[in-house]
Structure formats: C-alpha cells, structure tokens
Amino acid sequence: MSGIVKKGCRSVEKPNKFDISTENIRQCILLIRSQKVMLDSDLAVLYGIRTKELNKAVFRNRKRFPSDFMLRLTKIEHSSLRFQIGTSKRGGRRYLPYVFTEQGIAMLSSVLNSERAIRVNILIMRAFVKLRNIIYAHKEMERKLLELESRIDKHDKGILTLFDAIRQIMKEETKPKSSIGFLRD
C-alpha cells in the first residue's frame, strides 16, 4: 500500500482572497505514491468553484493532463485518507477523488481561466517551492549529521585504542618483578 501523508488542509469552505496563504496551501499538499499532490476537492475550494466543475474543466481538456499530472486515488488510498481527515462515508462523493501533481496544478491555470485561478495558482506554486526548500534543508542537515557521526565514530575508535594501550601498561605494572641477583637456598 502506498503511504498517504496529510497534515490537514486548513482551507475554509469558501475562502476569499485574504484567507489564502502559502502556509494554508502547504497544509493541503499530500504525499501519495511518493509524489506531492493536492486533492481535487481542496483545489476546487481554493479556486472558489465546485469539485464537479473543476473535474469537468479537466476532462474537457483531457489531453493536457497525462497520468503524471493527475492520478485517481485507489479505494485503499481514499479510505486511508478519509480516516485521517475524518470525513463521513455517507453522502459526499460517489467517485474516487483525483489528485493533481505540481505540473497538473500548473496546467489547471490554463484550463481555469479566471483572475482568482491565476492568483491561487501563483500561491500554490510558491507553496510547492517552499516545501522543496524545506525538504532540501532537511536533507542537507541529515548529510551534515551523518558526516559528524562519522567523525565522532573515528574519534571513538581512537579513544578506545588509547584506553586499550593504557590497560596494557597497567597490566605490565601489576606483574611481580623478578628479583635481581642470586637466590639462596
């Protein structure tokens, strides 16, 4: 099963232009099948349209959305996601949701040609860039920690060698010294 990571999209039902921030958008970005994506329903809320309208616009322009731009969730992924964000099984969607990769979201700006869509797309692209920068910073920190760990490991080996040498010297000092000279009977 592919992992789904969701922190919780903090989008309000119908956000106005002042409610949308890159931080709110970053909360809507999921990790599914090792790709950063956004749900069609979250995107629809951000664009101020219904999910059905967003998906209709996408399918009218299906050639613009190859499989690496848009994915359909499996039943397992959807149920795992529903469990994480606490949505009801009753009501809601009849079909499995779609998710859009960063390239798919960029393509949405050409399909949804409104002033709001343009503004939201710019914010979404900035959120993806910030997320990439955060991931890069973490990888750089991880690399530095591994380097430091390697150095410490070398020092530990050196210290252990030093302790072994000290123990050897201590053993030699505790041996009884042989007497010098002749023994009398």
Whether the full predicted model's pTM is greater than 0.75, yes or no, is no
Q: Is 44 within a domain?
A: yes
Residue 61 lies in a domain: yes
185 pLDDT tier (thresholds 50, 70, 90):
low
Note whether residue 55 is domain-resident. Answer: yes
Contact 9, 27 (CB under 8 A): yes
Once rounded to an integer, what is the mean pLDDT over residues 168-173? 74
- Domain residues for the domain of 115 are 4-139
Q: How many domains does the chain have?
A: 1
Question: What radius of gyration do the chain's Cα atoms show?
Answer: 31
In this predicted structure, what is the pLDDT of residue 134?
A: 82
What per-residue confidence (pLDDT) applies to 2? 45
Q: What's the mean pLDDT when you consider all of the chain? A: 78
- For residue 88, pLDDT beyond 60: no
Judge whether 82 lies within some domain: yes
* Alpha-carbon distances, residue 127 vs 21, 62, 66, 102 (angstroms): 9, 25, 23, 10
Does residue 169 carry a pLDDT above 50?
Answer: yes
Query: Are the beta carbons of 71 and 99 closer than 8 angstroms?
Result: yes
Lowest-confidence segment of 20-29, 51-60, 175-184 by average pLDDT? 175-184
Q: Does any domain span residue 52?
A: yes
Residue 58: count of CB within 10 angstroms of its CB: 22
Nearest by Cα to 108 from 90, 129, 88, 124: 124
Percent of the chain predicted with pLDDT > 90: 18
Residue 60 pLDDT: 92
Q: Is 31 helix (H, G, I), strand (E, B) or coil?
A: strand
Residue pair 46/16 in contact by the 8 Å Cβ criterion: no
| Residue 20 belongs to a domain | yes
- The alpha carbon dihedral of 73, 75, 80, 81 has a sign of positive
Residues 21-41 pLDDT 10s = 777 788 888 888 888 899 999
Q: Give 115 or 4, the one with higher predicted confidence.
A: 115
Domain-embedded: residue 148 = no
- Assigned domain for 19 exists: yes
